[in-house]
Amino acid sequence: MSPYTQPFITLLGLLTLTSAQSSTVNTPISSSALSSPSATRTVSRSSSATYSQSDVPTGTAIAGNYDGAYRPQVHFSPPQGFMNDPNGMFVDDNGTYHLYYQYNPVANVAGRQHWGHATSDDLYTWTNQPIAIFPGGPTEGVFSGSAVVDANNTSGFFPNQTNGVVAIYTINVSENQTQHIAYSYDNGYSFTKYQGNPVLVPGGTNPTQFRDPKVIWHEQTQRWIMVVAYPIDFEIGIFSSPNLIDWTAESNVSHIGVTGLQYECPNMVEIPVQGGSSNESMYLLLISINPGAPLGGSITEYFIGTFNGTLFDPLDSTITLNWASNWQYTNVVPTAGDQLGDGFRSVMTVPRGHYLKDLPRFGLSLISYPWNINSIVESELASNDSLGNGTVLLDYSNVESGALYFEANITGLKTSDSLDGTLNFIFSSSVSGESISGGTFVSSGDVWLDRGHTDGFSNPFFTDKFSATGLYNEDDGAWRLSGIIDRSIIEIFLNGGELSGSTVFFPTRPLDTMALRVSGLNSTATVSVGVWALKAAWLDQANVNGTVRGNVTTGGNSTTLGAMRLL
């Protein structure tokens, strides 16, 4: 029985460039022998207590108002308070996806970190669950980590079941960061902390900088593998364990790629290669850097390699969810109102499917496309399969979600001589004229996004414009752009995800008009366009007051947030 754990990556950054910009760092993993930082298991027993502050509810989901102008309808955002990294996604044996996330339920800025929890059957429609992991005391933060299904009871925590879940996470105190585990008998809804925590403590000279463990099962060596960051040493530690409790240092990956100021949230996943021999797959090591990205702020970069040359049974496509924000301004974006409960902060991207593809010039590259987007489509708004040079104009003010998916394919292209013209889109407000625009120049391969014409937020780090360059592949004879816009976030994908970018934006009035224009195409080319309204996955769950209550079947604790105030 093989556990099906879903990898997560933490995306710090408004624009994820998953091909061109990262090609310079697209190098094989080089594992060097363990150098300075090291870690050992401690035998000291620390508190396994769960400390819940009086203003943080236990045993009940926090309700949220999902009816705001900035509330995305097919993207995950927390009921209230502040969210950052996704943590420990996995699928339980019921087929339900579990998302945990870095969550401060008591303020609209990062601070008192818990593991928030939500579940979904389709990754677009979410049910908020009670907070899953609480700190052990007032000075502790439960930082990022991951979760695995211990199907074989390697830990010994699960004598009677094959669906036991173990969460592995960082406990942050001002003196140090250590790795802890907690186990769940009920498919990941509630956790018991391990009595022998911590299971891994920092060595070296920076005890306060050792975090974000990501654990996978390594079939070939029949043991658990953890990647964990030594952020300011620019090292990723690789550890192994037979039981999730005792960890042995294996190797370090040092100073690869763009280092920024810190390495964070490493992730290692196995990923299929498209067009390779049927069982071919490789390992992908992802590292978030913060700040110091080429486009400003924080990004995730990836490295493709083998992990001792092993091949697994092919997995289903890798799916990731990403935090769509940026540490340089995430604590101040205008989605939260004055008081806790008026709004929320931070949004995850839509789920993305991934595979590796050998692209001309770039070589093996990570492809990212919106996963199963058709499952959340409500209706078709426009369709034209012979647009040529022309415009699709659309008033979508009556779409309840305010969320659209669109595709535009230019086909019939031949040699690079035939690459001419532009394909542009603009979403605007019929009231204020504010807009988000973007598009692609077919001849140069450039793709761009501009959020500068929205007036709801301004900040020196809130970059106006983004661009990247894709490459035409003659074998495809096509140039494709698709995207999702959802009230305050837009995600675009070039050529099925060879390049992708996500950006948040904050107009003072809702955007309600779409125009998609094609001009200057070669006469051999044709254009097909489709635009679809997406469901209001959150509002469909709301009561008459727009409140989404989450899982209310758990009973337990009825602490309410009525008296809470912004800290």
Ligand X SMILES: *[C@@H]1O[C@H](CO)[C@@H](O)[C@H](O)[C@H]1NC(C)=O
Tokens linked to 466? 């983004």
**Residue number with CB closer to ligand X (324 or 413):** 413
Give the full edge-to-edge strand order of the sheet including 318-320. 318-320, 352-359, 363-370
Task: Determine the Cα–Cα distance for residues 393 and 539; give it in Å rounded to an integer.
Answer: 26
Nearest to 323 by CA among 95, 82, 26: 82
Contact between 545 and ligand X by CB under 6 A: the answer reads: yes
Q: How far is the CB of 221 from ligand X (least distance, A)?
A: 5
Nearest to 115 by CA among 68, 153, 152, 147: 147
Q: How far is the CB of 114 from ligand X (least distance, A)?
A: 13
Which of 38, 48, 152, 508 touches ligand X (CB under 6 A)? 152
Q: How far is the CB of 308 from ligand X (least distance, A)?
A: 4
Contact between 372 and ligand X by CB under 6 A: the answer reads: no
Q: For residues 482 and 405, is the Cβ–Cβ distance under 8 A?
A: yes
Q: Please tell me the total number of residues recorded for the chain in this structure.
A: 567
Which of 35, 52, 372, 422 touches ligand X (CB under 6 A)? 52
Q: Which residue in this structure is represented by tokens 């008026």?
A: 342
Contact between 3 and ligand X by CB under 6 A: the answer reads: yes
Contact between 30 and ligand X by CB under 6 A: the answer reads: no
Contact between 339 and ligand X by CB under 6 A: the answer reads: no
Q: How far is the CB of 153 from ligand X (least distance, A)?
A: 4
Task: Determine the Cα–Cα distance for residues 62 and 127; give it in Å rounded to an integer.
Answer: 11
Per-residue mark of binding to ligand X, 115-134 (x: CB under 6 A)? ----x-------x-------
Contact between 24 and ligand X by CB under 6 A: the answer reads: no
Subset of 196-255 contacting ligand X (CB under 6 A)? 201, 207, 217, 219, 221-222
Contact between 311 and ligand X by CB under 6 A: the answer reads: no
Q: Does residue 447 come out as left (phi exceeding 0), alpha (psi in the -120 to 50 range) or beta?
A: beta
Piece in contact with ligand X (CB under 6 A), picked from 175-183, 338-346, 448-456, 486-494: 175-183
Amino acid at 48: S
Q: CA-based diameter of the chain, in Å?
A: 74
**Residue number with CB closer to ligand X (255 or 414):** 414
**Residue number with CB closer to ligand X (24 or 523):** 523
**Residue number with CB closer to ligand X (459 or 523):** 523
Which of 40, 557, 560, 565 touches ligand X (CB under 6 A)? 557
Q: 547: exposed, middle or buried (C-beta count within 10 Å: 0-12, 13-18, 19+)?
A: middle
Q: For residues 399 and 393, is the Cβ–Cβ distance under 8 A?
A: no
Q: How far is the CB of 362 from ligand X (least distance, A)?
A: 19
Contact between 170 and ligand X by CB under 6 A: the answer reads: no
Task: Determine the Cα–Cα distance for residues 506 and 445; give it in Å rounded to an integer.
Answer: 28
**Residue number with CB closer to ligand X (132 or 295):** 132
SS3 of 117-182:
EEEECCCCCEEEEEEEECCCCCCCEEEEEEEEECCCCCCCCCCCCCCCEEEEEEEECCCCEEEEEE
Nearest to 273 by CA among 285, 264, 283, 281: 281
Contact between 114 and ligand X by CB under 6 A: the answer reads: no
**Residue number with CB closer to ligand X (211 or 451):** 211
Which of 33, 43, 138, 175 touches ligand X (CB under 6 A)? 175
Contact between 524 and ligand X by CB under 6 A: the answer reads: yes
DSSP 517: E
Task: Give the chain's radius of gyration (CA, Å).
Answer: 23
Q: CB under 8 Å to 154, separation ≥6 — which residues?
A: 224, 242, 243, 244
Contact between 522 and ligand X by CB under 6 A: the answer reads: yes
Task: Determine the Cα–Cα distance for residues 114 and 490; give it in Å rounded to an integer.
Answer: 28
Which of 316, 414, 433, 474 touches ligand X (CB under 6 A)? 414
Q: How far is the CB of 389 from ligand X (least distance, A)?
A: 4
β-bridge partners, 435: 428, 453
Contact between 374 and ligand X by CB under 6 A: the answer reads: no
Contact between 556 and ligand X by CB under 6 A: the answer reads: yes
* Residue 225 CA: distances (Å) to CA of 146, 169, 238, 252: 12, 14, 7, 13
Q: For residues 154 and 245, is the Cβ–Cβ distance under 8 A?
A: no
Hey, which residues are catalytic here?
85, 264
Tokens linked to 145? 């980590």
Contact between 551 and ligand X by CB under 6 A: the answer reads: yes
Which of 187, 322, 325, 328 touches ligand X (CB under 6 A)? 187
Contact between 480 and ligand X by CB under 6 A: the answer reads: yes
Contact between 467 and ligand X by CB under 6 A: the answer reads: no
Binding site for ligand X (CB under 6 A): 2-3, 42, 52, 58-59, 94, 119, 127, 151-154, 156, 159-160, 173, 175-176, 178, 186-187, 189, 201, 207, 217, 219, 221-222, 308, 388-389, 407, 409, 414-415, 417-418, 420, 480, 520-525, 528-530, 543-545, 551, 553-554, 556-557, 559
